[in-house]
Amino acid sequence: MLAERKELESMKNDEVLSEWKEQGELDKKSAKKLVWRTRLSISFSVLRTLIILLLLYCIYFIPVSIFYDMSDKGAEFDRLVTTIIETRYPGIAVEKTDNSAEISPLLTQETKQTIYKKIGDWEMVVGEVVAKKRLFGDVQYTLNFNNRYLNGYENLNYAIAPELIGEELKKGHSGNNHSIEEQLNMIEDGYVVQLQFSTIEAMAPNELLEMLDKYDILINQMPVYGGEISEVDVGYARAGQITFASSLMLRPYVEYTDDHKVSSYFFSLYDDHSLQTSIDQFMSDLEWLVDQGDYYDRDIDVQRLDYLKENGIQVYGATITGPIREVEQLLEEELFYQFHIGGIEVWKWDEKNSFND
């Protein structure tokens, strides 16, 4: 009897264990089903959320983008960046057909424009300007140059005429004329060059134009004295008796329509008419920039504008381009010094007045 009882108890235990195992297998299957159902439910919820967010994004951003493209805001931002760059960086210009301004979902305006140098009749691409402006911020930009030389300098400031800052420098001061003369002498005929130089004395723009008129060259820019150092606090550098500082650039005339599109422009400062028209436009551009009120050195430009209105426009150098032998003759001018070669290319040149026909 005892053996039978033990056998019955063992059978019952086996049945209980078997039932537990079966129940465990069922619980695992149910748990797996529950996990997959949960995952699918979460996935569908996430997908629905993403679709809703995408629809909301489209409902919000597509009209914003369309409005920005159809309005004048993009062209105005391109004009703003172009004007900032061309009125304060020596030797370069911005390709004005690059209407690339866009707006982001966070209402940040962005643009990317090509930078070039006028060397002879070439317009040589030297890099690009990348600019952006947040909704409540100032314009921020970066100049990215295609550097040809390690540790090379793409743009150098002009040497301010000493009299403008209460100093003296004798006529005939050679500056770096000798080294530039050696470089130019080693270049054969058949090349065109961009050259930047400063003047020992400040002068009216038409006086400098008259001095340069006898040469077969084109005038791309003239640095304008806006009271830097003497009246306006800007950064500067000294090299012996010579003082270098950033300045505003008198550029060839560029006319914009009411919707900020380029309607006409001059290639150079080539005669009295083009010069005076460019001066008038320069003052208008500076007033327009100041009115924008959303770029880094606006406060400095406000002071410069006041100075120019009170004292008139004086220049102290130029960026020019022309045939190598013609440009070389500028080194003989007693009032010209601190030359800088901005670029050299193979011959592509016509008479200077033909550029502006």
pLDDT for 195 beyond 80: yes
pLDDT for 171 beyond 90: no
Same domain, 65 and 174: no
Does a structural domain hold residue 76? no
Q: Which of 14, 40, 70 lies at the terminal end of a domain, its last residue?
A: 70
Does a structural domain hold residue 202? yes
Q: What is the mean pLDDT of residues 92-98?
A: 89
pLDDT for 217 beyond 80: yes
pLDDT tens, position by position, 291-321:
988 898 899 999 999 999 999 999 999 999 9
pLDDT for 6 beyond 90: no
pLDDT for 158 beyond 70: yes
Percent of the chain with pLDDT over 70: 83
Domain span including residue 183: 156-356
Residues whose CB falls within 8 Å of the CB of residue 189, separated by 6 or more in sequence, listed in order: 323, 324, 325
pLDDT band for 259, please (50, 70, 90 cuts): confident
Same domain, 194 and 65: no
Name the residue with higher pLDDT: 61 or 328: 328
Q: What is the mean pLDDT of residues 93-113?
A: 88
Does a structural domain hold residue 191? yes
Token pair 């500056």: residue: 175
pLDDT band for 45, please (50, 70, 90 cuts): confident
Q: Which of 20, 44, 70 lies at the terminal end of a domain, its last residue?
A: 70
Same domain, 64 and 166: no
pLDDT at residue 8, rounded to an integer: 53
Q: How far apart are the first and last CA of the chain?
A: 129
pLDDT for 86 beyond 60: yes
Does a structural domain hold residue 125? no
pLDDT band for 111, please (50, 70, 90 cuts): very high
Same domain, 167 and 64: no
Does a structural domain hold residue 97? no
126-134: long-range contacts, CB 8 A cutoff, minimum separation 24: 126/92, 126/154, 126/343, 127/154, 129/81, 129/85, 129/94, 131/77, 131/81, 132/108, 133/77, 133/108, 133/109, 133/294, 134/106, 134/107, 134/108
Same domain, 165 and 299: yes
In this prediction the pTM is 0.82
Q: Which of 48, 70, 92 lies at the terminal end of a domain, its last residue?
A: 70
Structurally, the chain folds into a number of domains equal to: 2
pLDDT for 174 beyond 80: no
Does a structural domain hold residue 147? no
Does a structural domain hold residue 108? no
Same domain, 165 and 26: no
Token pair 């000798």: residue: 178
pLDDT at residue 115, rounded to an integer: 95
Does a structural domain hold residue 35? yes
Same domain, 215 and 338: yes
pLDDT at residue 357, rounded to an integer: 45
Percent of the chain with pLDDT over 90: 54
Same domain, 43 and 191: no
Q: Please, is 215 exposed, middle or buried when counting C-beta atoms within 10 Å of its C-beta (0-12, 13-18, 19+)? A: middle
